[in-house]
Amino acid sequence: MTRIITIASGKGGVGKTTFVSNLAAALANFKKSVIAVDGNLTTANLGIHLGIPLYPVTLQDVLNGDARLNDALYYHPAGFTVLPADISLKKLRLANSHELVDIFYKLVGGCDFILVDSAAGLGKEALSAIEAADEMITVTNPELPALTDALKLGNMAGKYGTHNLGVVVNRVRGKKHEFSLEAVENFLEVPVLGKIPEDSEVSKALSVKKPVLIHKPMAPSSQHIMGIAARLIGEEYRPRSALGARLFSWLR
Ligand SMILES: Nc1ncnc2c1ncn2[C@@H]1O[C@H](COP(=O)(O)OP(=O)(O)OP(=O)(O)O)[C@@H](O)[C@H]1O
Ligand SMILES: [Mg+2]
């Protein structure tokens, strides 16, 4: 059965696109077939994160009836399929939830996961992506502004009957003033699916337009994303450190 999960956030810039591209790569690592959809049509950037900003045929072309869905699906070397959105102003348009449901309906059955990179906030675009999906994961930072916005998002998911799977706490620096994972859970009243530490390898990976999981598989961020992917599919995975992995291979 295909799981359709929208990755959303109340506040912008918290790491949704980073998480989607890496979660897709992580699930592919666990031999799951994944289609990553850029549901952020107005400020699309999944393609930029994946090193292919200018796809010839995009989601907008399909929505406009100018191309077939199959022509807008691209295989990424990290082992998953991408349905990108166009970054040009020329093709600026929103997708309503019915249009997205139509697209998902055609994709369902052909993969294990459809991951939708949503626009931030509670605008029409983000809400369409939440309404069209069966499940939602919220990305937040461990700070109050991001958390209060995430709380509103949880309420909207409830309104649309989209199952709120839980929250991923990104850019954790382990500082005293940050919300702890337990405090996040209490505040949002949903499970924390995992944390991703603040990691300079994430922006280095972005600069070479690769998921960090591909660029630096042993980076702390990559290892924690593997842990979250494992949890999603009910498998065990203990994040390893680069030093631990070196020791392990030496012992072997
Ligand atoms: N764990 C992390 N450690 C360090 N930097 C990070 C981490 N996660 C994300 N970033 C950086 O934060 C910035 C924003 O990330 P990203 O584009 O994924 O956010 P977003 O939520 O998709 O933004 P938008 O709301 O604009 O779509 C990027 O420059 C990315 O490299
Ligand atoms: Mg984004």
pLDDT of residue 87: 85
pLDDT of residue 239: 81
Q: Dig out the tokens for 135 from the structure.
A: 């499940």
123 Cβ closer than 6 Å to some ligand 1 atom: no
User: How confident is the model at residue 102, as a pLDDT?
Assistant: 92
Smallest CA separation from ligand 1 atom 9, residue: 15
- The full set of domains in the chain, from first to last, is 3-251 (3.40.50.300)
State residue 88's pLDDT score.
80
Q: Give the relative orientation of helices 220-232 and 16-29 as an angle to the nearest 10 degrees.
A: 70
| DSSP letter string, 89-149 | GGG-----HHHHHHHHHHHTTS-SEEEEEPPSSSSHHHHHHHHHSSEEEEEE-SSHHHHHH
The ligand 1 atom at the shortest distance from the C-alpha of residue 200 is 4
| pLDDT tens digit sequence for 116-173 | 999 999 999 999 999 999 999 999 999 999 999 999 999 999 999 999 999 999 999 9
Q: What does the pLDDT read at residue 91?
A: 80
Kindly report the average pLDDT of the chain as a whole number.
93
Extract the residue ranges of the chain whose pLDDT is less than 50.
Answer: none
Q: What span, in angstroms and rounded, lies between the C-alpha atoms of 36 and 24?
A: 7
16 within ligand 1 shell (Cβ under 6 A): yes
Q: Return d(Cα 214, Cα 29) in angstroms, integer.
A: 10
pLDDT at 53: 73
Q: Is 18 in the pocket of ligand 1 (CB under 6 A)?
A: yes
Nearest CA to ligand 1 atom 6: 202
